[in-house]
Structure 1
């Protein structure tokens, strides 16, 4: 298996797992992408670029909580086995008392993470999703484990879902939202009105897993994704929306999905790495 660098390895040494709040889990899985490819290269690019980060994120030092970089998940096997591998790795992180920070890979990876949270005994949690796409299709191109169906799999498991920044969906997905009570604030509301925070309903679970698809952000910020859609969130709006959730609920983990590096444009690798670290900082500052 390809050797991956540790996150922020220019500044910190790899801690013992039990001394780290954040466990970074690389998952270079890519099978069902339907437009541009390259998401399998995302985790390594983010880890490589993290060596250019400062320890101080502008407000605090997330690395003070400990950042442990896990071995990448084996994605060379059949899709269902990949999901099981992701679930086991995630469950192991949770059982160790740490927080999974998962780097994808296509968005199907999140299904494995969700299964892992359940396998670790976390039953009552919700998902907040930033994405350009609803990902609520029953199947896409006949594949029930498609990146376009990952949130449908989550809702089928009975997990409450709040979607942010969606701007590409089909009629099937709109009908499913209404039928199953999926909460949402789409990009056509968030972006023109420059909305920086959301208020979760009182009955939304107290524990939240946050999944961030890079294409949820505008292509002017991140063209480095397989299915870019104009009209997305900007840098600060994304951070502020995440923080508004962190202020209301306990973030039990998050992921960065669908980052596809563009060869020769290292700015995007660095941006994805900084985004990961900024989210760690928000969790750190709102955890106590």
Structure 2
């Protein structure tokens, strides 16, 4: 490990921290947790994933994603007011884009994604879409009076004019159904994807060429990831999730992705490792599709 750092770097047992301009992937840890509505612990997620990444191999089964360079950014200070946290996330994202790199963001609650989206916009990336894996639609105007809650983050996204495609949703309210119609949100819900074992997604021709992929851990089935505050049965499996991500990456340019709402369970390090491996395999998919 680089002795000048006060926090672990991703895959630090295998690689040195590169210069930021020499890395395709910039890992941004954001341990922000303010509006979770059931179980907590998402603030512990980024550190757990970074720690577990030290158990990964460089070879992901098909390639070496670390060959493209993985730079671990300084952890966002989440002790400041929420508005400042979101601004700091946006600023950090802008810096990543300036290095012509891809943000790989660890939450924290899903509100973190709003800061990333602001940063992408501020960096000059105007025309992009979002593909979201989640158990919940996150399309409420506000949750418990807070418009910047984890349950409202995708409403903030469509308010920004960003096209949205939702995958694996299985918990939503009537308000969110109406918002889907109003904003023409595309979706394939869990009751279609899971029983039919759908592995690929066909994006419509008019969906933006650039895509930010946001993955809420609760979008996957609790049998795979019980380590989340708001688990819902009937979610996506391990291979199905990776296959859907790969199908998007083959059709569009992935400009970044995040892993949200991971809440480690003390004593069950298998889930920490799974989250780190999921991240690394997604990096590998991006690497291989970019080389084609």
TM-score (norm 2): 0.98
Instruction: Report what 2:83 is aligned to.
Output: 80
Instruction: Report what 1:40 is aligned to.
Output: 43
Structure 1: which 4+ aligned runs deviate by more than 6 Å?
none
Q: How far, CA to CA, are the matches of 1:58 and 1:96 in structure 2?
A: 28
Asked whether 1:149 is paired with 2:152, we answer yes
Alignment size in residue pairs: 287
Deviation (angstroms), 1:225: 0.1
2:236 to 224, 233, 247: 233
> Structure 1, residues 167-200: CA drift from partner, whole Å, max 9, x if none?
0000000011011100000000000000001100
Q: How far, CA to CA, are the matches of 2:99 and 2:219 in structure 1?
A: 31
Asked whether 1:223 is paired with 2:232, we answer no
The gaps in structure 1 that reach 5 residues or longer are none
Match of 2:130, SS state, is strand
1:282 to 268, 281, 285: 285
Residue correspondence of structure 1 range 63-102 to structure 2 within 5 A: 63-102=66-105
Deviation (angstroms), 1:3: 3.5
Q: How far, CA to CA, are the matches of 1:77 and 1:66 in structure 2?
A: 31
Instruction: Report what 1:106 is aligned to.
Output: 109
Q: How far, CA to CA, are the matches of 1:105 and 1:205 in structure 2?
A: 27
Instruction: Report what 1:52 is aligned to.
Output: 55
Instruction: Report what 1:21 is aligned to.
Output: 24
Instruction: Report what 2:201 is aligned to.
Output: 198
1:133 to 136, 139, 152: 136
2:64 to 61, 65, 80: 61
Deviation (angstroms), 1:4: 2.0
Match of 1:287, SS state, is helix
1:181 to 180, 184, 196: 184
Match of 2:287, SS state, is helix
Q: How far, CA to CA, are the matches of 1:109 and 1:120 in structure 2?
A: 17
Deviation (angstroms), 1:24: 0.3
TM-score (norm 1): 0.99
Q: How far, CA to CA, are the matches of 1:55 and 1:46 in structure 2?
A: 16
> Structure 1, residues 191-238: CA drift from partner, whole Å, max 9, x if none?
000000110000000000000000000000000000000000000000
Q: How far, CA to CA, are the matches of 2:182 and 2:69 in structure 1?
A: 42
Deviation (angstroms), 1:74: 1.1
2:169 to 166, 170, 176: 166
Asked whether 1:12 is paired with 2:50, we answer no
Between 228-237 and 77-86, the greater mean CA deviation after superposition: 77-86
Q: How far, CA to CA, are the matches of 2:172 and 2:143 in structure 1?
A: 12
Q: How far, CA to CA, are the matches of 1:4 and 1:91 in structure 2?
A: 22
Q: How far, CA to CA, are the matches of 2:133 and 2:98 in structure 1?
A: 26
The gaps in structure 2 that reach 5 residues or longer are none
